[in-house]
Structure 1
């Protein structure tokens, strides 16, 4: 099957993958009066008197905005906001299908951080959460940081944190399969953009071990003047042995390779220099190394971002549940604790007696996942005081 042609044909046929559906049929004059004027004035008055009632009297309690500026769309790069719309619609469809969360796509035509932040903030009162999507690094870090300060609803950049959570969950199980020791592994992450930096930060906070970050120039080491502020920050808590060199140098003696970069950067020979390696090569559609080559080099566990190989590392396992849980308790935000707890909950969905080199993460089509992740997030929010309701 030519998946590109089939998908294009489907998009022409559907003319959009989502639609707005009324939750109350309007068939009589009474229906009209209740849903619109004059009856609708009463919930308006109640909300005007008590802002929090907007979450009870409108759909914003279960509504997420999926927002992009079109600058880093699904491996296609800076293709613009209009061209990013099919991806945003797809994301909204996944929110509904897997988490029961309503989502609405918004493509904003600006690359100016101030304008993007202001636009999102000004519309935030219509939603219960903000899912940032496909915004290029390093601009995405500043956009998320500022929106978290301004908005009174959860703001979550899925390319960063959704990826980090699903990777952490996969590694928790991969370590068990390979008999490695949590806290004593060397992990090499290639790609120091949005996803790579978030993965590194989460794995460090979870105590996995020594994280060595690499970018196009090689190993990231503290003191390098060419690093951006976010790379400088992670350099202070990673690469504990102050290694220098290229990716091939970093992989010598490494236990785990995580790729969020470009196709074909890793060879079987490089994998053979690892310590019975775990390889998560997630460049899409072509990974940093194909699974057969990774195994030829001695990799024990291999995962990719693709659905045609075992161990698909897919964000759909994360974001529906993250928002489902946060919205359920009206969380003030998404914390590091919620991310860690979500990762453990996701990993636990693969029973220990079913763990294997080709089964370290639940299927992306498993609809029970969102509920487990949501419970973990909601419980953490309640226990840490981040929940507004219980």
Structure 2
């Protein structure tokens, strides 16, 4: 089922998202260097002839010398796009690009979308079959029934690579996992449960077929379509529906549900009436998976049957049936063993792995994403959260083993422990953990001041902050200007946004009183303070936070960091026993590095360096990393010698005297901290692997490094993150885009950057 968050956005915002920068959501990036003539000669002519001849001699070598083994085609004809219907192949392209992005995001599977302009199943089958040499797997998507059954079956018979229609089998696998756990909790067995399936489309038929393959008895399943129960002898049903016809005298959904243990809905909004579930068996299991609105909402179901277990396709209710729990990891496991198919054995293995994962103790980062609630296996937690970091390892491994056990794996895995470790390291954990931070912010929304709301970039971020459900933005600016810009950006109700104009705000007298008490012995008269509050957006915004009218603030796009910091410090103090400092996150494909202090302390003392190390390590832990700290220098353990090394050595000694619980080492040059080959020259180093927290010796080197890396790495940089203030405050770089501002605002709201 789609991940429906009830997130509101304008059509203009959606179009802007898909069109800004490079149009679309995917691009092709070379995985080999292309800098020199020799590189080009190896990549193309004449060097490319060598692998060509090798593959011609042994076709299996294509997996060794090309991207085939990690490349999945997402293919559709656009006849059943989401809940929008048959809008054609071209209109489906944004959805297929999105599916390709999910493959990459969740399982590091490279994917390309292909839209075929035909509704003829034979032409579709032939076109896909001819592309078999290009891909390691085929993900069929958004193809209407019954053609989807014909197409998938024909391609599975013809091709020797995995083929799966995700609309059918993805939903089937996740719902089967949830049903396993719901039956476990209610003391039921698949072999005895009575099931009513409402809906007879592709997903409903696939769900029914899978649970039957897992032990549900054919005669115990009643399937209903718009005309009622599909019974043996009924006229006008196709071969796919007739396969699930049974002998019964029940004719309506209401009759079918009498005494039923399970309702499996893949039909339409409000199809299941409260009075229908009154006659179901004790502790009924209700999977209302219509998209985007369920057959019955969990509150309505529980009002009638408090003993029920309910799952939907919605993320705003417990027990979300979400396909992203399945398809990325199913293809990951299938590709890794070069499976020739995705069969029932593999699908059942995936369903059982997902079910068993939900029964395990929930990781801290998943609990944090639910606002710190204690998430435990039970009636409201029968399906793992989509961002559970263990899914990659658990589901992919189960699918790979299922392929091996069923004889379709061409490259069996010898060491599953090593394989699981490789799966863990395949994805960058920062991306996953930031997802948790966003989820945590949504579950505990905060009031965040956007101090420069007349700036369009800031205003876009504020709109996204609110529409994403992270909290309420407080917009600082002139009322008419901000409202006019909101209208320009497509906001239908600009008056619904809370705007604070420093010139006329009723909070000004209290702000002036508070600030005058702070500054009267620093050369400021009361009139000076009033002018600051009225005219300086950072002072005014900080005062809103100081006086409790907001929880956090974001600024920085209209003036340099140092100036913004000076203005904020007139109102806000460092947190007790804290030294404020800044962190930049540098995110690579398989690593994340935390760089500090990049913004504030020009020549930190040994004590400050030790404090910065501890604080940065703590942020790294909050974002899911095991910190390994390197105190950087031009010198590595005294070579060469110099006059600026004592503070670094003393900082290490401070940590030695009070061990912090993480690895640290220094002084050392960047290559000795990051390059394993150089690290090997220092066997006495206390770092067990390359450092991921780099504490810089001074602001000049830190700030230069951060800005240089930002220009070179672009979107792979987050920051600066301001740490150590009494209230969550973030100062974005003047070159930030709306996404950067939103990220910092969410980090502030979630309490990560404090």
* TM bracket, shorter-chain basis: over 0.9
Q: Is the 8 A contact 1:60 1:128 kept in 2?
A: yes
Q: Which residue of 2 aligns with 1:374?
A: 396
Task: Specify every segment of 5 or more residues in structure 1 that has no aligned partner in the other structure, as ranges.
Answer: none
2-structure distance, mates of 1:175, 1:13: 47
Structure 1 pair 144–224 and aligned structure 2 pair: CA distance change class (3 A): same
1-structure distance, mates of 2:316, 2:255: 30
2-structure distance, mates of 1:384, 1:245: 39
Q: Is the 8 A contact 1:63 1:128 kept in 2?
A: yes
Secondary structure, counterpart of 1:27 in structure 2: coil
Q: Which residue of 2 aligns with 1:71?
A: 79
Secondary structure, counterpart of 1:348 in structure 2: helix
Runs of 4 or more, structure 1, over 4 Å off, are: none
Q: Which residue of 1 aligns with 2:351?
A: 343
Q: Is the 8 A contact 2:359 2:382 kept in 1?
A: no
Match of 1:138 among 143, 146, 170: 146
Match of 1:288 among 259, 279, 295: 295
2-structure distance, mates of 1:307, 1:387: 35
Report how far residue 366 of structure 1 moved.
Answer: 2.1
Q: Which residue of 2 aligns with 1:232?
A: 242
Q: Which residue of 2 aligns with 1:218?
A: 228
Secondary structure, counterpart of 2:243 in structure 1: helix
1-structure distance, mates of 2:378, 2:406: 35
**2:405 corresponds to 1:364:** no
Report how far residue 286 of structure 1 moved.
Answer: 0.9
Match of 1:32 among 40, 61, 65: 40
Which of 1 and 2 has higher RCO (CA within 8 Å, sep 6+)? 1
266-275 or 101-110, which deviates more: 266-275
**2:22 corresponds to 1:17:** no
1-structure distance, mates of 2:132, 2:286: 39
Q: Which residue of 2 aligns with 1:89?
A: 97
Report how far residue 352 of structure 1 moved.
Answer: 5.6
248-257 or 138-147, which deviates more: 248-257
Give the aligned CA root-mean-square deviation in angstroms: 1.5
Query: Which runs of structure 2 are paired with 1:1-390 in the superposition (5 Å)?
Result: 2-3=8-9, 5=11, 6-13=13-20, 15-209=23-217, 210-235=220-245, 239=246, 242-275=248-281, 276-298=283-305, 300-351=308-359, 354-390=376-412
Secondary structure, counterpart of 1:234 in structure 2: coil
- The normalised TM-score by structure 2 is 0.50
Aligned pair count reads: 386
2-structure distance, mates of 1:108, 1:72: 13
Secondary structure, counterpart of 1:65 in structure 2: strand
Larger Rg: 2
Task: Specify every segment of 5 or more residues in structure 2 that has no aligned partner in the other structure, as ranges.
Answer: 1-6, 362-375, 413-754
- The normalised TM-score by structure 1 is 0.96
Query: Could you give the per-residue CA deviations for residues 26-74 of structure 1, whole angstroms, max 9, x where no partner exists?
Result: 0011111111111011111111111111121110100000001000111
Secondary structure, counterpart of 2:409 in structure 1: coil
2-structure distance, mates of 1:59, 1:352: 36
